[in-house]
């Protein structure tokens, strides 16, 4: 297939077909699961100057209504088109099923380069797109709950929430119409870093697997792993930071304008600060800068983390990749054709639908917080601390020992929102990894992506079968 006729949605469906062979479902059910249930394409005008207008194109796709609400981010990028949004919406269904988050899959996209617009214009675009969704009953806490994605963040989510609330005064759960909001707008602690942190948990679980590491000729654990990251946005930055804080060495980071490299290790926090100061990761002290060096993906390393966009590892560069593990922090960075090449070459792929599911997992926590209108830990934190205090004192009395101040404080501390969100996220990522590893082993599936799709298909199929839609 030439790169012109590349279809991301076809690639996702080819993974479903491959996985379906390991399941036993009635004919037609897999076909029903694969289709997008609803595709919305809107265009609206934006006044850019006095008398000058632009037409903005935007999409929202509901892939699967087997659960409500549907959930998925909204991206702002010039690459947005119907095929891309359909593929990303489908991935959301499989992702949510995999991590047992009770949503159907959706995705949205606005075809703009956000760097070309002023903040005021971006706000108008966001509010107008939200009102297009409201008009069609395509947003709401029980219907469809957007979130940040490539090119969007808490600021855009705040505009979406505010627009929705203006049209739905008095709706008590209105704040649950979108997640990834700023904290002041009833967002949740830990959401911004959630996807990157989930990526770290997923990689940690993988590299802790003795058998898989042995096959790759690697030692278990993160300590001796050399990592290359493509994309230093929200996901790439937090993934790199967490990996580095837990022992890995980040040797290269690629961005759209070039690459930085240091075989002895890059200080991720310093690069982040350098970008805040200069607007680019390039020329960061202590690193070699290679302008437009787009072949970083092909450098020698243990773990390659594509954390930017889809269609980055294709049949052209797949034979040249030297990484032993590819960790898909982005959605769809490896094409299906490239995957075949990589699997044959023995590369271990940690698939997107598992690895970047941390974002939607913490979005789920935020949605729960919004519809229950209480933050996690608020009611029970102090009660737990008093209980812990009594227990620690009783143990001290009974054993006639005195703990140090530090030990006492650590044992007594109750969990607040960030502790609950983070441990909840870790639990979800660890559990999902166990589920897919088990499927891979027991059904002799071969690769982790297929195992992940088998897991999701089984869960979505149950929803349809128990509805009686299929006999
Ligand atoms: N855009 C993120 C993703 O691709 C998060 C979606 C969400 O939180 O709903 O998973």
**Which protein residue has the closest C-alpha to ligand 1 atom 9?**
72
Give start-end residues of each CATH 3.40.50.720 domain in the chain. Answer: 1-35+188-377+415-471
Q: What is the dihedral of CA 14, 15, 19, 25, to 10 degrees?
A: -50
Q: What is the dihedral of CA 402, 407, 411, 413, to 10 degrees?
A: 120
Please report the DSSP string for 314-349 in residue order.
-TTTGGG---SEEE--SSS-B-HHHHHHHHHTT-EE
Residue among 62, 73, 76, 358 whose CB has most ligand 1 atoms within 8 A, to mutate: 73
356 within ligand 1 shell (Cβ under 6 A): yes
Let me know: does 69 contact 143? Beta carbons within 8 Å: yes
End-to-end CA distance of the chain: 37
Predicted confidence pLDDT, tens digits, the chain (471 residues): 444 689 999 999 999 999 999 999 987 999 999 999 999 999 999 999 889 999 999 999 999 999 999 999 999 999 999 999 999 999 999 999 999 999 999 999 999 999 999 999 999 999 999 999 999 999 999 999 999 999 999 999 999 999 999 999 999 999 999 999 999 999 999 999 999 999 999 999 999 999 999 999 999 999 999 999 999 999 999 999 999 999 999 999 999 999 999 999 999 999 999 999 999 999 999 999 998 777 999 999 999 999 999 999 999 999 999 999 999 999 999 999 999 999 999 999 999 999 999 999 999 999 999 999 999 999 999 999 999 999 999 999 999 999 999 999 999 999 999 999 999 999 999 999 999 999 999 999 999 999 999 999 999 999 888 877 666
244 within ligand 1 shell (Cβ under 6 A): no
Residue 331 buriedness (CB in 10 A; 0-12 / 13-18 / 19+): buried
Position in ligand 1 atom list of the atom nearest CA 364: 8
Active-site position among 67, 71, 107, 381? 107
* Separation between Cα atoms, residue 145 and residue 161, nearest integer Å: 10
- Tell me, yes or no, if 440 is annotated catalytic: no
Position in ligand 1 atom list of the atom nearest CA 148: 1
In this prediction, residue 1 carries a pLDDT of 42
**Per-residue burial over 318-327, b = 16 or more CB atoms within 10 Å of its CB, e = otherwise:** beebebbbbb
Let me know: does 83 contact 7? Beta carbons within 8 Å: yes
Q: Which CATH class for the 1-35+188-377+415-471 domain?
A: alpha beta
Question: In what side-by-side order are the strands of the sheet with 104-110?
Answer: 38-49, 52-62, 104-110, 70-76, 144-148
Contacts of 88 (CB under 8 A, 6+ apart): 8, 61, 72, 73, 75, 107, 109, 149, 331, 332
Helix (H, G, I), strand (E, B) or coil at 27: coil
Q: Which of 263, 319, 306 is nearest to 286 (CA)?
A: 263
Contacts of 2 (CB under 8 A, 6+ apart): none
Residue among 60, 62, 80, 92 whose CB has most ligand 1 atoms within 8 A, to mutate: 92
**Tokens representing 283?**
């020329």
* Separation between Cα atoms, residue 311 and residue 318, nearest integer Å: 11
- Do the bridges between strand 303-306 and strand 325-327 make them parallel or antiparallel, or are there none, so unpaired? parallel
70 membership: H or E segment, kind and range = strand 70-76
Q: Which of 138, 142, 147, 61 is nearest to 105 (CA)?
A: 61
Please report the DSSP string for 238-276 in residue order.
HHHHHHHHTT-EEEEEEETTEEEE-TT---HHHHHHHHH
Length in residues, the chain: 471
Give start-end residues of each CATH 3.40.50.10860 domain in the chain. Answer: 38-187
Q: Which of 111, 191, 112 is nearest to 145 (CA)?
A: 191
CATH of 38-187 among 3.40.50.10860, 3.40.50.20, 1.10.1370.30, 3.40.50.2000: 3.40.50.10860
What does pTM read for this prediction?
0.96
Question: What spacing in Å lies between the alpha carbon of 410 and ligand 1's midpoint?
Answer: 34
* Separation between Cα atoms, residue 251 and residue 425, nearest integer Å: 27
Question: What spacing in Å lies between the alpha carbon of 407 and ligand 1's midpoint?
Answer: 38
In this prediction, residue 4 carries a pLDDT of 60
147 within ligand 1 shell (Cβ under 6 A): yes
- Do the bridges between strand 104-110 and strand 52-62 make them parallel or antiparallel, or are there none, so unpaired? antiparallel
Residue among 235, 351, 360, 364 whose CB has most ligand 1 atoms within 8 A, to mutate: 360
In eight-state DSSP terms, residue 73 is E
């Amino acid at each position: 297939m030439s790169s012109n006729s590349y279809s991301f949605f076809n690639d996702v469906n080819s993974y479903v077909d491959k996985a379906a062979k390991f399941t036993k479902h009635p004919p037609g059910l897999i076909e029903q699961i694969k289709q997008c249930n609803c595709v919305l394409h809107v265009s609206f005008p934006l006044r850019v100057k006095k008398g000058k207008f632009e037409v903005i194109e935007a999409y929202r796709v509901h892939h699967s209504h087997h659960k409500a609400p549907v959930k998925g981010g909204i991206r702002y990028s010039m690459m947005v088109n119907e095929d891309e949004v359909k593929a990303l919406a489908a991935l959301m269904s499989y992702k949510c099923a995999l991590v047992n988050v009770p949503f159907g899959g959706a995705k949205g996209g606005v075809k703009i380069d956000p760097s070309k617009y002023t903040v005021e214009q971006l706000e108008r675009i966001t509010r107008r797109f939200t009102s297009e969704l409201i008009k069609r009953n395509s947003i709401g806490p029980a219907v469809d709950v957007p979130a940040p994605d490539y090119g969007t963040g808490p600021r855009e989510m705040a505009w979406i929430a505010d627009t929705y609330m203006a049209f739905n005064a008095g709706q008590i759960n209105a704040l649950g119409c979108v997640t990834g909001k700023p904290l002041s707008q009833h967002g949740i602690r830990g959401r911004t870093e959630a996807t990157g942190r989930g990526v770290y948990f997923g990689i940690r679980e993988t590299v802790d697997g003795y058998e898989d590491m042995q096959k790759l000729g690697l030692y278990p654990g993160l300590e001796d792993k050399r990592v290359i990251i493509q994309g230093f946005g929200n996901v790439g930055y937090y993934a790199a930071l967490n990996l580095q804080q837990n022992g890995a060495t980040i040797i290269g980071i690629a961005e759209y304008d070039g690459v930085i490299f240091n075989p002895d290790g890059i200080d991720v926090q310093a690069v982040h600060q350098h970008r805040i100061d200069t607007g680019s990761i390039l020329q960061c002290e202590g690193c070699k800068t290679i302008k437009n060096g787009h072949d970083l993906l092909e450098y020698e390393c243990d773990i390659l983390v594509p954390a930017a966009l889809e269609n980055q590892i294709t049949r052209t560069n797949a034979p040249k990749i030297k990484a032993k593990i590819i960790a898909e922090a982005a959605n769809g960075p490896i094409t299906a054709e490239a995957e075949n090449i990589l699997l044959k070459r023995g590369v271990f792929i940690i698939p997107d639908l598992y690895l970047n599911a941390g974002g939607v997992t913490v979005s789920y926590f935020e949605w729960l917080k919004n519809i229950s209108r209480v933050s996690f830990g608020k009611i029970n934190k102090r009660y737990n601390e008093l209980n812990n205090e009594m227990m620690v004192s009783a143990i001290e009395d009974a054993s006639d020992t005195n703990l140090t101040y530090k030990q006492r404080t650590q044992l007594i501390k109750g969990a607040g929102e960030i502790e609950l969100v983070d441990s909840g996220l870790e639990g979800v990522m660890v559990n999902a990894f166990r589920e897919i590893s088990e499927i891979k082993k027991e059904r002799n599936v071969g690769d982790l992506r297929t195992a992940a799709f088998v897991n999701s298909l089984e869960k979505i199929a149950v929803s349809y079968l128990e509805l009686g839609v299929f006999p």
